[in-house]
């Protein structure tokens, strides 16, 4: 691990000249060069082509000079590689052909063979040759968020079928999450072995749960992912609407806790003492005039100083309608602050 990379230093709580900055969903639809490259190529197909993965991952680095690249992929890539019939539908998200509802459905989910995601390791090797001082972050979806797509069959507002299974058939729920944790751990380990320098576990929809339910139904599985990895890379653990879950998500084995815009970073720092934080500009602020962006970014930098380390980011992914120039200007601001 290169001790000079800012993201890694901030993740370990070491002194940095300025906060490192990157953006969730920085690779993708806010960039015209991405839309051009993807024309006529399916999302999941593009994820299986190391040349495209390398190029799309580098696009925001070249354009914005962010301190980290996030591997271009998707949380459902390892599920498809394990044989689950699904697709990503433009404008909708992941759609699963045969939703999981029973123990027999769970038993039909095969483990992920590392060779089935060879293309990810190949893309990482290409990227490491290009990235210089920019850190490379690998990622995966956490068991709860993956389970939600598999049980609902697609995106969902209330996660009602998911919760019905969780409360009504806890044996099926735990069997499903155990299997998903195995897939996620394997997927992250492939990325670590290929050379990613940090990983982020996305539990995007965990905020739908109370703390008690999170601890009972989800934490053991996310912990089995985060603590089961070998290799000394920082582990970032992120979800949306997780103000009440931050301590539990830290306990699951995070070095860095991702925070959405609802919780000020000084408040989050008090909730997870000793942990570095990542966040937390509301992505919608980037649609407002620059003066508002600057004011909010400076507030977040000040509040972030209460944590042992702060990685500047948004509170969730870049919205597709974001002006890429606003992101570039924000990076300049963070670097000069």
Residues that bind ligand CP3 (CB under 6 A): 24-29, 38, 43, 70, 72-75, 88, 90-94, 139, 145, 202, 204, 317
User: For this structure, is 149 an active site residue?
Assistant: yes
- CA 240, 56, 256, 331: dihedral to nearest 10 degrees? -90
Q: Which of the following is catalytic: 12, 25, 215, 216?
A: 25
Taking residue 72's Cβ as centre, other Cβ atoms within 10 Å add up to: 22
Determine which one of 74, 182, 203, 255 is catalytic.
74
**Catalytic residue, candidates 149, 185, 214, 235:** 149
Residue 216 CB partners (closer than 8 Å, separation 6+): none
**Shorter beta-carbon distance to ligand CP3: residue 126 or 337:** 126
Query: What is the C-alpha separation between 294 and 332, in angstroms, rounded?
Result: 11
Choosing from 9, 38, 185, 235, which is the catalytic residue? 38
What is the nearest approach in angstroms of ligand CP3 to the Cβ of residue 87? Answer: 10
**Least distance between ligand CP3 and beta carbon 270 (Å):** 25
Angle, alpha carbons 313-184-262 (nearest 5°): 30
Least separation, in Å, of the C-beta of 295 and ligand CP3?
25
The β-bridge partners of 135 are: 68
Question: Considering beta carbons, is residue 44 or 122 the nearer one to ligand CP3?
Answer: 44
101 catalytically annotated? no
Please identify, using beta-carbon distances, which residue of 24 and 209 lies nearer to ligand CP3: 24
Q: How far is the CB of 207 from ligand CP3 (least distance, A)?
A: 11
Alpha-carbon separation of residue 105 from 4, 7, 101, 218, 277 (angstroms): 47, 40, 6, 20, 38
Establish whether 74 is a catalytic residue: yes
Closest CB to ligand CP3 among residues 89, 212: 89
Active-site residue, 9 included? no
d(CA 122, CA 318): 26
Q: Which is nearer to ligand CP3, 74 or 303 (CB)?
A: 74
C-alpha neighbours within 13 Å on the C-beta side of residue 148: 24
Phi, psi (degrees; rounded to nearest 5) at 235: -110, 120
Nearer to ligand CP3, 26 or 278 (CB): 26
Shortest reach from residue 242's CB to ligand CP3, in Å: 12
CB of 6 vs ligand CP3, minimal distance in Å: 19
Backbone φ/ψ region at 227: left (φ over 0), alpha (ψ -120 to 50), beta? alpha
**Annotation marks residue 63 as catalytic:** no
Burial of 132 (0-12, 13-18, 19+ CB in 10 A): exposed
Q: Exposed (0-12), middle (13-18) or buried (19+): which is 134, by Cβ within 10 Å? A: buried
Active site residues: 25, 29, 38, 74, 149
């Amino acid at each position: 691990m290169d001790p000079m990379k800012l993201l890694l230093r901030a993740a370990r709580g070491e002194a940095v000249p300025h906060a490192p900055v990157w953006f969730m969903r920085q690779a993708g639809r806010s960039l015209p060069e991405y839309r051009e490259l993807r024309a006529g190529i399916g999302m999941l197909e593009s994820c299986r082509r190391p040349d495209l993965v390398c190029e799309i991952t580098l696009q925001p680095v070249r354009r914005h000079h962010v301190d980290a690249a996030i591997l271009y992929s998707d949380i459902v890539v390892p599920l498809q590689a394990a044989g689950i019939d699904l697709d990503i539908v433009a404008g909708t998200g992941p759609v699963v052909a045969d939703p999981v509802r029973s123990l027999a459905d769970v038993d039909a989910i095969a483990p992920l063979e590392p060779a089935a995601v060879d293309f990810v390791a190949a893309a990482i090797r290409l990227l490491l040759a290009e990235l210089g001082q920019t850190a490379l972050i690998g990622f995966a979806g956490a068991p709860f968020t993956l389970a939600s797509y598999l049980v609902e069959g697609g995106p969902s507002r209330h996660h009602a079928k998911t919760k019905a299974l969780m409360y009504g058939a806890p044996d099926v729920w735990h069997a499903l999450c155990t299997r998903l944790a195995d897939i996620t751990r394997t997927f992250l380990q492939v990325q670590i072995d290929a050379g990613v320098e940090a990983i982020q576990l996305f539990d995007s929809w965990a905020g739908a749960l109370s703390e008690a339910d999170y601890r009972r139904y989800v934490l053991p599985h996310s912990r089995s992912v985060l603590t089961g990895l070998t290799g000394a890379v920082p582990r970032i653990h992120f979800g949306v609407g997780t103000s009440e879950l931050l301590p539990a998500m830290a306990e699951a084995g995070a070095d860095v806790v991702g925070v959405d815009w609802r919780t000020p970073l000084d408040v989050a720092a008090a909730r997870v003492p000793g942990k570095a934080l990542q966040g937390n500009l509301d992505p919608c602020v980037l649609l407002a005039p620059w003066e508002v962006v600057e004011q909010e970014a400076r507030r977040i930098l000040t509040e972030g100083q209460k944590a042992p380390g702060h990685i500047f980011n948004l509170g969730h992914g870049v919205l597709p309608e974001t002006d890429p120039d606003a992101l570039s200007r924000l990076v300049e601001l963070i670097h000069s602050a």
